[in-house]
Amino acid sequence: MITPHSRRRFFFLSFLIGLVPLTSAREAVAGGGGGLPKGRSIQHRYRAQQIELLGHNTFNGSNRKAVDRGAAPYFSSLGRRFVRRVLAATSRHHVCDMGAGNCVFATELAGLGGRVIPEWPFEEAIKQLNDREASQIPHVSAVTYKMDHDYVHEGKKFQLLEGRLFEDIPPAKLKAKLGQTKLFFEKWGVLAYTHDPTKVLRKLCAAAPVDFEYFVEAGPRHWNVERQTMSGDPKPPRSSLHSSTVKLRDGRVLTFPDWLRTVKGLKVTELKVENGGALLIRRDPRVPLDIPKLRLINPPDESGMPPHREFLER
């Protein structure tokens, strides 16, 4: 006979050995299984779940590296082109980390984090970062939902956008904060977690100068060794934007990065990096911006980082 006690014990043990995601275990224990959260749509139902995930500030990472990431992980994930852009920045430039976590890299860029420990193979790039003079340090903005500490404070060259999802920040505030920012970047940031990519992209394009650049970690398109389902079909890679999909109006299904490349008014370049892939998103000023509305159609699978999301193009 299944009792409430045995149900709790089963899901606790399943979570410990990785059979059941933490969020699923919580829902099953609290609600006895079954039943989706109430709400008008998938987006509304799972908004609280998204905020809870970000509020824990672990991003489903296995360790603190998920939020305490310095220069080397960013350089590795976003590639040499990004490294050159960062090192070419001066005090006249504005840059923005769109997934800053605990703001380790953001404060390093702003010259507030002390000397950065060199890591292979970026010793020379990090040395240049450490040796910058005041005239070579850009203005830095950091987008993060929640930090684990309070010793990072805004200053003349550093500002925080904290406590709200990016898509919830009023357009006027984004324009005031990011109106001069031409270099955006993220390592599993806003685009990796949002339930409304349309609103994110529209707000970013409205706030930023038309010649902005947005470097985004995309991850691998395929695993080197394909994971197999029970039917023998390969599973999409976990730590990748390619694990999120968009169903188009004509019925075709694209990975999220491939969908981005179909958006009129955007130029999306796929960058090859050692540990997977990255995207460079820019505006095409010759083409009017037309970003289709996406609707989340299934509960996000948040057992990995970033979560697997399924969207429908309206």
What are the boundaries of each domain within the chain? 4-35, 51-313
Q: CA 48 to CA 64: how far, in whole Å?
A: 23
Note the Cα 228 to chain centre separation in Å. 26
Q: CA 23 to CA 11: how far, in whole Å?
A: 11
**What pLDDT, on the 0 to 100 scale, is given for residue 123?**
96
**What pLDDT, on the 0 to 100 scale, is given for residue 272?**
87
Cβ 24 vs Cβ 53: under 8 Å = no
Question: How many angstroms separate the Cα of 130 from the Cα of each of 133, 153, 247, 283?
Answer: 9, 21, 45, 32
Residues 6 or more apart whose Cβ sits within 8 Å of residue 294 = 196, 197, 198, 246, 311, 312, 313, 314
CATH number corresponding to 51-313: 3.40.50
Q: Cα-Cα-Cα-Cα dihedral of 163, 183, 119, 222, to 10°?
A: 90
Supply 140's token pair: 């830095």
Q: CA 268 to CA 192: how far, in whole Å?
A: 16
Cβ 260 vs Cβ 192: under 8 Å = no
**What pLDDT, on the 0 to 100 scale, is given for residue 6?**
46
Q: CA 250 to CA 260: how far, in whole Å?
A: 16
Q: CA 190 to CA 299: how far, in whole Å?
A: 18
Q: CA 117 to CA 72: how far, in whole Å?
A: 9
| Residue 1: other Cβ atoms inside 10 A | 3
**What pLDDT, on the 0 to 100 scale, is given for residue 147?**
84
| pLDDT tens, per residue, the chain with 314 residues | 444 444 444 433 443 334 334 333 333 323 333 333 444 454 555 555 555 555 554 443 333 445 788 999 999 999 999 999 999 999 999 999 999 999 999 999 999 878 898 999 999 999 999 999 999 999 999 999 988 877 777 788 999 999 999 999 999 999 999 999 999 999 999 999 999 999 999 999 999 999 999 999 999 887 654 455 555 565 555 579 999 999 999 999 999 999 999 999 999 999 988 878 999 999 999 999 999 999 999 888 877 778 999 999 99
Q: CA 160 to CA 173: how far, in whole Å?
A: 12
